[in-house]
């Protein structure tokens, strides 16, 4: 399948496995690359040497393009930017801050820059400054969310920029991918669906928790404070939301939330950890290899696109 994204990155399918803290390491990223999509190594919260090692391991495991995420609020982001330039990764995604100051250095090193943006105004700004593509993430996504839905983003952003748009937030099957492509997207970013993959380093207990969950099990904490985070309901989220609603100081909420992502992802603590997943959780029904997931999604994508003409009378 050819789109602006596949041609820009030199990949087979328009699927990006987004950077997910504590998950997207070399083995996981190489698996999606070898399956025809591409993946992004996470750097936020990780030591610089770990990031370097994972970049080099990924190069050993695949000859396909892959990226690294620059989490712009990370104190070591400048060091990570230098590292990816030295290691000549194919592209970077940038989020949680102003990406523009990093464009010149990254592009001079031959690295494609793909910022994550929350609205049309910023989409136009990064396009003007030289972004190669953008990721537009709707609030249906897992983890940190914005205020606009995926459908609203597709309606507002795609017709008004000329660079490839990668849609994110709520994509878990081929019907969603087909819908995004029909709306003009160049590809999609998928996270939650891959969390339960065989190659995912997530804890088995956490994987099963995701598989067993249904749509009403997903909640958002912190939304009233301007920084919502979506994940599965747990004892932690119940306690957090009770404090949030009661007007507890933000410092108390931050203390309660610290470390909960790792606790769920790595330790398998789904009671006092936060399993960060998006709203489109019903299609996640079993553990599969990354290749099986990609093949299933792309088969359904093609079938859906082929059948679209039947809607016309």
- Mean pLDDT over each residue of the chain, to the nearest integer: 95
Query: Does residue 142 lie within any of the structural domains?
Result: yes
In this structure, the strands spanning 112-117 and 134-137 are parallel
Q: Which run of H or of E encompasses 310?
A: none
Is the pLDDT at 116 greater than 90? The verdict is yes
Query: Is residue 313 in some structural domain?
Result: no
Residue 229 has pLDDT above 90, yes or no: yes
Please report the pLDDT score of residue 74 as a whole number.
Answer: 87
Q: Are residues 109 and 169 in the same domain?
A: yes
pLDDT digits (tens, 9 = 90+) for 211-222: 999 999 999 999
**What is the strand order of the sheet 229-232 is part of?**
143-144, 229-232, 218-221
Domain housing 219: 214-265
What does the pLDDT read at residue 46?
87
Q: What are the phi and psi torsion angles at 164 (to 5°)?
A: -60, 135
Answer whether residue 278 is part of any domain.
no
Residue 308 has pLDDT above 90, yes or no: no
Is residue 103 classed as helix, strand or coil in its secondary structure? Answer: helix
Whether residue 302 is found in the same domain as residue 244? no
Same domain, 167 and 242: no
Cut 0.85: pTM above it: yes
219 backbone dihedrals φ, ψ, rounded to 5°:
-130, 170
Of all residues in the chain, the percent with pLDDT exceeding 90 is: 92
- For residues 144 and 14, state if they share a domain: yes
Residue closest to 231 by CA, chosen among 15, 240, 154: 240
CB 115 within 8 A of CB 96: no
pLDDT tens column, 193-212:
999 999 999 999 999 999 99
- Together in a domain, 101 and 245: no
β-pairing, 91-95 with 112-117?
parallel
Q: Is residue 274 part of a domain?
A: no
SS3 67: strand
Number of domains in the chain: 2
- Domain-located, residue 271: no
Assess whether pLDDT exceeds 90 at residue 37: yes
d(CA 143, CA 243): 19
Q: What pLDDT is stored for residue 96 in this prediction?
A: 82
Same domain? 41 vs 119: yes
Does any domain span residue 277? no
Do 117 and 177 lie in one domain? The reply is yes
Tell me whether residue 273 is in a domain. Answer: no
- Would residue 155 count as lying in a domain? yes
40 and 179 within one domain: yes
Query: pLDDT-derived band of residue 45, with 50, 70 and 90 as boundaries?
Result: confident
- Same domain membership, residue 229 and residue 144: no
Quick one: what percent of the chain has pLDDT higher than 70? 100
Q: Are residues 37 and 178 in the same domain?
A: yes
List pLDDT tens digits, range 119-168. 999 999 999 999 999 999 999 999 999 999 999 999 999 999 999 999 99
Helix 290-307, helix 174-182: angle, nearest 10: 50
CATH number at residue 127: 3.20.20.70
The reply to whether 94 and 237 lie within a common domain is: no
Asked whether residue 175 falls in the same domain as residue 148, the answer is yes
Give the pLDDT band (50/70/90) at residue 301.
Answer: very high
pLDDT at 313 over 80: no
Q: What is the pLDDT of residue 294?
A: 98
Can you give the pLDDT at residue 15?
98
Among residues 194, 203, 201, the alpha carbon closest in space to that of 264 is found at 203
């Amino acid at each position: 399948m050819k789109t602006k994204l596949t041609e820009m990155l030199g990949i087979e399918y328009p699927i990006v496995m987004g950077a997910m803290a504590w998950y997207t390491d070399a083995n996981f990223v190489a698996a999606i690359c070898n399956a025809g999509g591409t993946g992004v190594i996470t750097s936020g919260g990780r030591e610089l040497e770990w990031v370097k090692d994972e970049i080099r391991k990924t190069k050993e495991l695949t000859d396909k393009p892959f990226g690294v995420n620059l989490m712009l609020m990370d104190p070591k982001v400048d060091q990570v930017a230098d590292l990816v330039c030295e290691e000549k990764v194919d592209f970077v995604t940038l989020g949680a801050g102003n990406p523009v100051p990093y464009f010149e250095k990254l592009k001079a090193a031959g690295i494609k820059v793909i910022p994550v943006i929350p609205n049309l105004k910023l989409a136009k700004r990064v396009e003007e400054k030289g972004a190669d593509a953008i990721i537009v993430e709707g609030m249906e996504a897992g983890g940190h969310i914005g205020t606009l839905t995926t459908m609203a983003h597709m309606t507002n952003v795609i017709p008004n920029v000329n660079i490839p748009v990668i849609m994110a937030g709520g994509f878990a099957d081929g019907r969603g991918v087909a819908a995004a492509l029909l709306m003009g997207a160049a590809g999609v970013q998928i996270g939650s669906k891959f969390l339960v993959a065989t190659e995912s380093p997530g804890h088995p207990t956490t994987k099963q928790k995701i598989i067993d969950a249904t749509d009403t099990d997903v909640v958002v904490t912190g939304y009233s404070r301007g920084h919502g985070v979506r994940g599965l309901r747990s004892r932690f989220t119940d306690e957090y939301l009770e404090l949030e609603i009661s007007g507890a100081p933000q410092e108390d909420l931050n203390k309660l939330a610290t470390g909960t992502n790792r606790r769920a992802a790595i330790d398998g603590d789904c009671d006092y950890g936060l399993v960060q997943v998006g709203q489109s959780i019903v299609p996640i029904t079993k553990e599969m290899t990354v290749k099986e997931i990609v093949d299933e999604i792309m088969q359904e994508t093609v079938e859906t696109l082929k059948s679209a003409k039947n809607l016309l009378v």
